[in-house]
Amino acid sequence: MSYQSEIWLSRQTIIRALGATTFLLLIASTLGQVAHHIFGRPGLMGFVPLFYVDQEGNVPTFFSASLLLWASLLLAVISRLKKQSSDSRWLQWTMLALALLYMAIDEASGIHELLQIPAKWLIGRENAKGILTYAWVLFGITFIVIFALSYLKFYLSLPSQTQRQFFAAAAVFLSGGLGMELMESYYVGTYGRETFGQALLVTIEEGLEMTGVIILINALLTYIHSYHGEVRLRFAEPKESPSPIASRVYQITEPTKS
């Protein structure tokens, strides 16, 4: 008995599901912080730490890391397609995939926080306050500037629609990852940690970061569909040609217009 199964993935369905999940997680995190700071219930049977967006190793952290990982995988798919078509830019796509993979690992483990000590040493302020309370952002800003300059030519070579989508994704993500981080840094340096105000700033920060990655995922799915058509992934045993019984076909599609 032979068969072939197909799974059709609609871009709009994927993005709506990711957006709805982000919204629900932010609501859950906010309600948990209201229970913590307003009603004095910091645990609430484990609900508060489980859904707080600034807590490591919980549901929002897993979701954020997963978003970055999926963006990395889509970039890797594009890199593979470019290499197959002898496009010389396949290496730039690969480096982008690796960058997003690192960001996914960092999101899950908080590697960037290890830069706090060397950053304070560089600025010569062991107990930096105000906007430099989170001194590690200096490394983040430096990296972003270097990365943007090195990828400017690549960015300008992209189709105009992809340029706009990439710019929107980067703007939203960085407004959270750096912009809100600087605001939170000033707030913590002035008013201290573990306050309701800090919790709200962190929630906005994480929400912008998640939204930025979702915009990127949407851009990558659109790019794949628009410039590479139908993409099929086949799974077969080694040294065997794909057969109907050994293959599964995954297709990313656009909704059919009536």
pLDDT digits (tens, 9 = 90+) for 85-117: 888 899 999 999 999 999 999 888 877 777 767
Closest Cα partner for 100 from 119, 81, 82, 77?
77
Using a cut of 0.95, tell me whether the model's pTM lies above it: no
> pLDDT tens digit string along 122-165?
666 656 666 666 777 788 888 899 999 999 999 999 999 999 99
The position carrying tokens 């090195």 is 150
Give the whole-angstrom CA distance, residue 253 versus residue 99.
Answer: 26
Give the separation between CA 252 and CA 223, rounded to whole angstroms: 11
The span from the CA of 130 to the CA of 142, in Å, is: 19
Render pLDDT for 169-213 as a digit per residue (tens, 0 to 9).
999 999 998 888 888 888 887 887 889 999 999 999 999 999 999
Long-range CB contacts (within 8 A, 24+) of 104-108 = 104/65, 104/66, 104/68, 104/69, 104/72, 105/65, 107/61, 107/64, 107/65, 107/68, 108/57, 108/61, 108/62, 108/65
More confident residue, 251 or 99: 99
